[in-house]
Amino acid sequence: METTKGNILTEETIREDLRYLQLLAQSYPTVAEASSEIINLEAILNLPKPTEHFISDPHGESEAFNHVLRNASGYVKRKVEEIFEDTLLKRQKKELCTLIYYPEQKLRLIKANEQDMTDYYNVTLNQLIKVCRELSSKYTRSKIRKQLPQEFGYIIEELLHESPSVKDTKYFYYNRIIDTIIETQRADEFIIAMCKLIQRLAIDRLHLLGDIFDRGPGAHLIMNTLRNYHHFDIVWGNHDIDWFGAAAGNRACICNVIRLSLRYGNMATLQDGYGISLLPLATFALDTYTDDPCEQFLVVDVNDEVKTDAKTNRLISQMHKAITIIQFKEEAKIIDRRPDFKMDDRKLLGNIDLEAGTCTINGTAYEMTDMQLPTLNPADPYALTEEEEQLMKHLEHSFLTSEKLQRDVDCLLTHGCMYNITNSNLMFHASVPLNEDGTLKEVEIRGKKYKGLDLMKKTGHLVRKAFSNDVNEEEKLFAIDYIWYLWCGPDSPLFDKDKMTTFERYFILDKSTHTEAKGYYYLYNDKEEVIDRILDAFEVGGQHRHIINGHVPVRAIKGETPIKANGKLMVIDGGFSKAYQPKTGIAGYTLTFHSRGLELVAHQPFLSSDEAIRSGTDIKSSTQIVELNDRRIYVKDTDKGKILLAKVDNLKKLLYAYRNGYIKELRR
């Protein structure tokens, strides 16, 4: 007997692995059970590779994000078109798709307009079974069974694996199941279960490339979706890290999270999602900035979507300014206690000349746009006033005790990291720091240098330390501070610019000071040899290997392409956030990796789920083939396949051990 790797089994190999095989025998105690599992695994290995979806930078746009998951980036619509190409009208196919995406809501709408639902139920159930049967063809019955709702599992399984014609003896059996579902008034529940099963089967695994938070109003709603999603992983983005810092009690991150929420007029995630009250900030801002027009702190109005009145907008601007000034003070404290961050140039409040109305940056005095700074003490510019300190204590307590925020951060810690490698695809959010010559840059952390893979691992460990109770207090405090560095530090793989010019953008008139010089990764990310060097450093193998990242919106409207380095790098931030869409010209990308290869789907803006339910409006998407393989990819060609092949090898060794007396079968 040979294993799947071609190694001939011998007494020596069995004796070497005997201890492990004895453990394996506890799960497969007989020849029959071990043989059955080998047969099952071999069958799985020869199924087509299931579809993976890669999405980046949803930035709180929960409706668009959820719709893309429901329609599987247009895949469900394409399948419905294929299955019912000549048998349904365009309007009917659109109605069926909308039902699959939003079954509960669509059924309520249909029932409000239909007098007799019997015919509708009969036709629709048969249509859904056809779609579900088509999508289930890539999976084993066992895997399908695990996805089925318990109350309908047996019935759905019967319908999926039976497709009798009128002449078939099972024709009446099949149709009687459908009729009985309707007669027992369970059709609604059954339709909903089938639609959700179709959604689950359309996307086998979701890879999220970071930046769930900020800008859009529904980051907490995206998290609600992810917590209940069947199979996902995430590489953390810089905006996610900022929220991590806030959840860990980092005051600078708390200020920044609130500042960005106020800047875009989106307080829903803070207030509705996580119960963070901004009333104390509003009270402080009203008292402190009563006569201040706060012109540099007006809400960024994206596509005329800010519907609040002038009085509310003024209050938001005052709150925005108040938290921004506090943020600069809190950041200065971190910079002072962490000189190894080398960010003294970011302490600018102390460079302000109140009489001259200027701020000195790198030796040059620049005119300031705003000199109303009532909480700035020239003698101690980074000290919080008594009122600011009380406000920060309240906000810190609110973030640390928000159960929903801590739950969502725990979910992202469980499912995420700084990088991920799967099926020859290296994923990270923003960059890998590089030197001027394109080689990997060494970054010093607490006296030790790290680069490439080791840097990603180290920063990931530090993030986890910030939430661990198994490290000493000093280590934990450093980790919490380092999360802020990951947000805006020059050598952070999540930032990778020379500086973050938040102060200059608010307060300095000269726009030349607003420039943030990008790291060398962004200069070299179209160079195939540099991308190969990174892939080698991360030990990514395979004939077709890639880097996939987001972070930088691709300006498709200006002819920029997300595909770089001869197809080895894909930047898939296409602008889910409405704030970016005028620059990108699209509303997000999805990269899909199926058994035939890679496809890039570009999405147009999504109106709303209400509009989709009422009118059958879908996201308009265009598909671009990125890479087609010369042969179909099977499960045996994937990372999971390697694990299953190794298991087959070990089971074959176990069979040899049973048949040659090294281990005795345990009859149950």
pLDDT in tens, 499-533: 999 999 999 999 999 999 999 999 999 999 999 99
Using an 8 Å Cβ cutoff, are 433 and 519 in contact?
A: yes
In a domain, 582, yes or no: yes
CB burial string 553-583: b at 16+ within 10 A, e below:
bbbbeeeeebbbbeebbbbbbbbbbbbbbee
Residue 424 falls inside a structural domain:
no
Strands 52-55 and 205-208: parallel
In a domain, 108, yes or no: yes
Burial class (CB in 10 A: 0-12, 13-18, 19+), 40: middle
Q: Which domain holds residue 654?
A: 11-40+648-659
For the beta carbon of residue 359, count every other beta carbon within 10 angstroms: 22
User: Residue 597's Cα: distance from chain center in Å?
Assistant: 22
**pLDDT tens, position by position, 44-80:** 999 999 999 999 999 999 999 999 999 999 899 999 9
Residues 407 and 452 placed together within one structural domain of the fold: yes
pLDDT of residue 159: 75
Task: Single out the residue in 540, 560, 594 at which a domain terminates.
Answer: 540
Are 471 and 395 members of one domain? yes
pTM for this prediction: 0.91
Same domain, 128 and 251: no
pLDDT reading at 2 higher than 60: no
Give the total number of structural domains in the chain: 3
Are 462 and 528 within one domain? yes
Residue 170 has pLDDT above 80, yes or no: no
Residue pair 626/562 in contact (Cβ under 8 Å)? The answer is: no
Q: 3-state secondary structure string, 91-153?
A: HHHHHHHHHHHCHHHHHHHHHHHCCCCHHHHHHHHHHHHHHHHHHHHHCCHHHHHHHCCCCCH
Output the average pLDDT for the chain.
91
Identity of the amino acid at 529: E
pLDDT in tens, 136-159: 877 877 777 777 777 777 777 777
pLDDT of res. 423: 95
Tell me, yes or no, whether 67 and 97 share the same domain.
yes
In a domain, 83, yes or no: yes
- What is the DSSP track for 378-402? TTSTTPPPHHHHHHHHHHHHHHHT-
73-107 confidence digits (pLDDT tens): 989 999 999 999 989 999 999 999 999 999 999 99
Considering the domain architecture, whether residues 565 and 605 belong to the same structural domain is answered as yes
- The per-residue pLDDT for 395 is 98
